[in-house]
Amino acid sequence: MACINGEIYGWSSVTMNIAGEDITGITAINYKEEQKMENVYGAGSRPIGRSYGQISTTASVTLILEEVERIRQSSHVNSLREIPPFEVTVQYAKGNNIVTHHLRRAQFKNEGVALKENDTRTLVTLELVVCEIEWNRRANRR
């Protein structure tokens, strides 16, 4: 567990950058990699080995509408899906310890808005297509 001076990484320790833009209007981020794995059987009832298949990634971000529009305007596109592949950088920082994850060659897969009565902000959840995730690239703050 990453723990510095009794503190652990939490939402307040997260910073994010999409396509070179610092993102402050983010309320959630989800990303994961999954690899197909299967036991291989031969003689007897126990596996004799394991085989590995494709690695798939999934990711999504939830942003306030103002942040979505800022990204759209700075990219000079009509649709977020038109933005060429970009990198998403997520950092978790406590003191001098920074853990950095890179979501490589990401693109927005969808866009839309859902708003209902009594909402005080407009949240937009965007799915991302990501080629790979570079995990735990560590750096020290200077």
Residue 54's domain is classified under what CATH number? 2.30.110.20
* Pairwise CA distance, residues 83 & 99, whole Å: 27
Residue given tokens 């939490």 in the structure block: 10
Task: Supply the pLDDT for residue 86.
Answer: 93
Average pLDDT in the chain: 89
The predicted model scores a pTM of 0.81
Residue 64 pLDDT > 50:
yes
pLDDT for the residue numbered 142: 41
Please state, as a whole number, how many other Cβ atoms lie within 10 Å of the Cβ of residue 21.
14
The total domain count for the chain is: 1
Q: What is the C-alpha separation between 43 and 47, in angstroms, rounded? A: 9
Instruction: Tell me if 121 is assigned to some domain.
Output: yes
Asked if residue 131 belongs to a domain, the reply is yes
Q: Residue 11's pLDDT is what? A: 86
Under 8 Å between Cβ of 89 and 17: yes
Q: Is the pLDDT of residue 140 over 60?
A: no
**17: in domain:** yes
Please list the residues that pair with 30 across neighbouring strands. Answer: 60
Domain that holds residue 119: 3-34+50-140
